[in-house]
Structure 1
Amino acid sequence: MRKSPFRGVLAGAAMLAVLTACSTDDSVDNPDTADDPASTEESEEGSSDEWFVQADYDEQMQQMDATFEGNPEEPWLQYIDGPMTDTSEWKSQEAQKVCFANASISNPWRQTGWITMNQQLEVLQDSGVISEMETRDAGDDDNTQIADIDYFIDQGNCDVFIISPNSTAALTPAVERACETGKPVIVFDRGVNTDCPTTFIHPIGGYAWGIATANFLVENLEEGDRVIALRILPGVDVLETRWAAAERIFEENGIEATDHFTGADPAEIKKIITDALVQGDVAGVWMDAGDGAVAAIEAFEDQGVDYPVMTGEDEMSFLRKWEETGLTGLAPVYSNFQWRTPLLAVEKIVKGEEIPTEWVLPQEPITEEERAAYLEANDGMPDGHYAKFGGEDLPGYPEVWQERQIP
C-alpha cells in the first residue's frame, strides 16, 4: 500500500463503510453506521483511538516543516520530494479526453474547487492538452460513483481517469479496475486502499490539521480550561484524524475537551454551545471544518459572554466574523487549490514528465497576521468561498467565483 496520510486508518474506514463529501464541509449523506451525524451527543470516550496511528501522526508533523519542491507562488504544483512516477509511456501529441468521477459538489468547499477546476480546464483546452472532460457527479453516493467509474471504463473512451473518491474502502475496487485499463489514473482529495493510481494528490492531511489547531488552542489557554469540539460527522478519515490528533494533544496538556457531532447544522451548533455555556465557562472552540463557525460565535454573543479562543477554516464567513469580533483565532486549511492539480498532472503526463507518486501539497493555516491580506485579496467573494482557492491567475477571475458560476 502506498505510504499516505490515510494508511493505517483504512481498516477503520472499511468497517465503517465511510461516506464522504468534501474533506472539510457540510451537506453530506449519513455514513452507514449506527451514529447519527446530526446528533448532539458526545462521542464515546476513546473512540478516536482506532483512527490514531503514531507513525502517520509523526510523519505529518514532520511534513508540516518540510521544504516543498517548486515555486511557492504556485502551491498547487508544489510537492514534498519523494518517489516519482514515470509517465513516458503516455506521452502524446493528441489532446486527451479526461473522465472525472467526482464524489459531489454538495457543499461550499467542493463547489469552490469545482469552479477553479473548470477554469483550469479552459486553459488546458485552449492549449490543446485536453479535448474534453466528461464528468459524472455521484451525489455523495458510493454505489453511484462505482457505477460512474465502470461506465467510464466500459463506454467512456477515456484517455485519463480522475477520481475524487466518495469513500475510501468502497471505491478501492473501482479504482483498481480503472488502473487495469493501463491508462493513467489520478486520485485526489481522499485516498483509496491501493497503490495502483499514477498519482495520489492531497494536502498534508488530517493529523496536520489537528496538530496545528490543538497546539494553537493549548498555547492560548490554561491547563484545565474547557474546549468544545464541533465535528461534522463520524467515519470520514481526514475528519477523524483531525480529531484523533487534537484529542491526543488536549489530553497531554490538561485541556478538558468534549466533542460533539453537529451534521454541520447551524441550529445544532448553536444548541451545543448554548447548552455548554449553561453548564459553565467555555474557553475554546475547536472545529474539524469551518462551515458553521459563525453560528458557534453567535451562540456566545447570544449569551452575552466573552468570545472563546477558536479555530475555524479559511471559508470567508469565518474570516470575516473573526475580524469583526477580534477574537483570538486561527484558520486552518485543507488546501482548496488542490482542485487544479489533477488537470495540471494530466498536462505533465501528456508531456511524458515524471510526477510525484504521492503528491503532497502545502497546507498552511491563515494566522491573525495574515488575515487582513486574505480578506483584501478575496474582497467581493461570497461567504462560502475559500480564501486559499488558488485561482487568481485563471480566466474569469474574479467574476466566476464571485457569482458562483458552477458548471
Structure 2
Amino acid sequence: MHKSIRTTVAIAAASSLLALTACTTDPAVTETTGATSPATTEPGQEWFDQALFNEQSAQRSATFEGDPEKPYLQYIAGETTDTSKFASDGAKKVCFANASISNPWRQTGWITMNQQLKALQKTGVISEMETRDAKDNDNTQIADIDYFIAEGNCDAFVISPNSTAALTPAVERACETGKPVVVFDRGVETDCATTFIHPIGGFAWGIDTAEFLSGKLAAGDKVVALRILPGVDVLEQRWAAAEKIFQEKGIEATDYFTGADPTEIKKIISDELAKGDVQGVWMDAGDGAVAAIEAFEDAGKDLPVMTGEDELSFLRKWKETGIDALAPVYSNFQWRTPLLALEKIFKGEEVPAEWVLPQTPITAGELDDWLATNEGMPDGHYAKFGGEDLEGYPEVWQQRQIP
C-alpha cells in the first residue's frame, strides 16, 4: 500500500509520463492562470489505477487506529518507519517547503499548522520553522528545497508538493541529506520520505462524489465537472475515479479547468446552460462552488444536484438554497499532522510509512450540526479543520490571521 499511492504516475506508459512532466513544470500551468478550457479527452488516461481505486474504495470503511477525538493522529494500520536513528534531545529546526497558501483550504490549514507549531515550541520540541512559499510554482518550490539543503541548518524537512512528477527529484535530494523528510497533502513518485501523510485520497473523493451524483441522476443527464488545475495527483485521481463511474452509469459529464476563478466558473456554467439543461455539478475542490450555484440562479434555471467541499461558503449556500448536495472532505486537519509526526520522530518512535487519515464527507443529515459547530467562522473556513483544542481558538481562525 505504501508504494502504490506514490507511484500512480510511474506505472503509466513512458510517453504519458513524459507528457505529464512537461506539463507540470510549465509555470503558466502551475501558477494557475484561470484560463478556461475543456480538460481531458479519454477516461482515466495515465492517472487511473484500478488497484488504487479499489484500495481507496475499501479504505472509506476501514477501521482507523487512534482516538477519534483526535482524527489528525488517526491512521490505518500498516507498514511503519523505524525512526530510532533520529532520536535526540533538544528543540529542532524544521524547514517547510510549501506549495502555496493561494486558496482558502490551504490558508485554513496554514493557520492551524502555525497554532500547532506554537504548541510544540512551548513544549520544546521545535525551535523554529523556516517556511518558503512557492506560490503554486514547481520551479520555485524546487529552488526552495534546494535552498534548504544548501543552507544545511534543517533538522527536518516538511514538504507539501506543488505537483507530483516535477517535485519528485527535489524530494529525493532532501531524503539524501539523511534528515527526516515528511511529505503531506500531495504525493510524489518516491518512497524515500520518512512518512507520507494524507487523507485516504483522490480516488475515494471521486468515488464518494460520483456515486452520490449518479444515485440522484438518470442515465443521459448532464453533469458539468469543474476542475482547478492539472498535474496534481489527488486532483487528477478525483476526476479519474468520477469519470469512470459517470461513464459506467451513462451520465454525460463534461469537464473544464477553471483555475478556481469564480468568473470563469460562472461563464462555464452559463455557456453549458445555453446549450441545454444541466442536472448536476461536480467539483474537484469546493473553492468557487458558490459561483457555480449563482450561475444557475442568474439564469433562472433549476438548481443542480451538486458536490462541493466542506468550505463554509458552500455549506451555507447549501443550507440557504436547499439544494441536493454532498460535501466531500479532503481533511484539512492534516496540516497539524506533519509537526506531530516530527514530535514522534524526534523521540525515535515509529510512525506510519504511509499515514492515511480519515476522510468522511458531510451529508445532508449532518449539515446543520457542522454549521452550528462553525458558527461565527468566516466563509473561507473549512468545517472539519480539527483545531478546536489549539490555543487561539476560535479568534485566530475567525480573524483569518495568516502568518
Please give the TM-score of this superposition, normalised by the length of structure 1: 0.93
Once the two structures are superposed, residues 39-83 of structure 1 have per-residue CA deviations (whole angstroms, 9 ceiling, x without a partner) of 444334315322111111111111111111111111110111100
Report if aligned partners of 1:48, 1:244 keep a CA contact under 8 Å in 2.
yes
User: Where do residues 111-122 of structure 1 align in structure 2 (5 Å cutoff)?
Assistant: 111-122=107-118
Letter in 1 for 2:8: G
Report if aligned partners of 1:223, 1:255 keep a CA contact under 8 Å in 2.
yes
> Does residue 1:9 correspond to 2:4, yes or no?
no
CA distance in 1, matches of 2:142, 2:257: 28
Higher mean C-alpha displacement, 65-74 vs 7-16 = 7-16
Deviation at 1:6, TM superposition (A): 4.2
Sort the Cα spacing of 1:136 and 1:156 in 2 relative to 1 into closer, same or farther, 3 A.
farther
Report if aligned partners of 1:101, 1:163 keep a CA contact under 8 Å in 2.
yes
Sort the Cα spacing of 1:14 and 1:323 in 2 relative to 1 into closer, same or farther, 3 A.
farther
CA distance in 2, matches of 1:117, 1:147: 23
Q: Count residues in correspondence.
A: 398
Deviation at 1:38, TM superposition (A): 3.6
Sort the Cα spacing of 1:54 and 1:135 in 2 relative to 1 into closer, same or farther, 3 A.
same
User: Where do residues 379-390 of structure 1 align in structure 2 (5 Å cutoff)?
Assistant: 379-390=375-386
Higher mean C-alpha displacement, 367-376 vs 5-14 = 5-14
CA distance in 2, matches of 1:279, 1:406: 42
Which residue in 2 is equivalent to 1:31? 29
- Other structure's SS at 1:359 match: strand
CA distance in 2, matches of 1:32, 1:139: 9
Sort the Cα spacing of 1:135 and 1:37 in 2 relative to 1 into closer, same or farther, 3 A.
closer
CA distance in 1, matches of 2:342, 2:399: 28
Once the two structures are superposed, residues 364-399 of structure 1 have per-residue CA deviations (whole angstroms, 9 ceiling, x without a partner) of 111111111111111111111111111100000011
Please give the TM-score of this superposition, normalised by the length of structure 2: 0.94
Once the two structures are superposed, residues 18-47 of structure 1 have per-residue CA deviations (whole angstroms, 9 ceiling, x without a partner) of 549xxxxxxx964279xx964444334315
CA distance in 2, matches of 1:262, 1:136: 26
Deviant stretches of 4+, over 6 Å: none
User: Where do residues 125-164 of structure 1 align in structure 2 (5 Å cutoff)?
Assistant: 125-164=121-160
Once the two structures are superposed, residues 148-192 of structure 1 have per-residue CA deviations (whole angstroms, 9 ceiling, x without a partner) of 222222224111111111222222222112111211111111111
Report if aligned partners of 2:6, 2:190 keep a CA contact under 8 Å in 1.
no
Which residue in 2 is equivalent to 1:23? none
Q: 2:60 aligns with which of 41, 64, 67?
A: 64
- Other structure's SS at 1:92 match: coil
CA distance in 1, matches of 2:185, 2:402: 19
Report if aligned partners of 1:37, 1:233 keep a CA contact under 8 Å in 2.
no
Quick one: percent identity of the two aligned structures?
72
Which residue in 1 is equivalent to 2:264? 268
CA distance in 2, matches of 1:70, 1:127: 22
CA distance in 2, matches of 1:131, 1:14: 41
- Other structure's SS at 2:5 match: coil
Letter in 1 for 2:51: A
User: Where do residues 313-328 of structure 1 align in structure 2 (5 Å cutoff)?
Assistant: 313-328=309-324
> Does residue 1:91 correspond to 2:87, yes or no?
yes
Sort the Cα spacing of 1:183 and 1:117 in 2 relative to 1 into closer, same or farther, 3 A.
same
Report if aligned partners of 1:40, 1:262 keep a CA contact under 8 Å in 2.
yes
CA distance in 1, matches of 2:222, 2:4: 33
> Does residue 1:185 correspond to 2:181, yes or no?
yes
Structure 2 residues not aligned, in runs of 5+: none
Which residue in 2 is equivalent to 1:52? 48
- Other structure's SS at 1:307 match: coil
CA distance in 2, matches of 1:161, 1:44: 34
Once the two structures are superposed, residues 68-117 of structure 1 have per-residue CA deviations (whole angstroms, 9 ceiling, x without a partner) of 11111111101111000111111122111111111111111111111000
Structure 1 residues not aligned, in runs of 5+: 21-27
Sort the Cα spacing of 1:103 and 1:44 in 2 relative to 1 into closer, same or farther, 3 A.
closer
Report if aligned partners of 1:19, 1:140 keep a CA contact under 8 Å in 2.
no
Letter in 1 for 2:220: G
Report if aligned partners of 1:16, 1:32 keep a CA contact under 8 Å in 2.
no
Once the two structures are superposed, residues 216-257 of structure 1 have per-residue CA deviations (whole angstroms, 9 ceiling, x without a partner) of 001111222111111112222211111111011011111111
Deviation at 1:143, TM superposition (A): 2.2
Cα RMSD, aligned residues only: 2.0
Which residue in 2 is equivalent to 1:360? 356
- Other structure's SS at 1:381 match: coil
> Does residue 1:406 correspond to 2:387, yes or no?
no
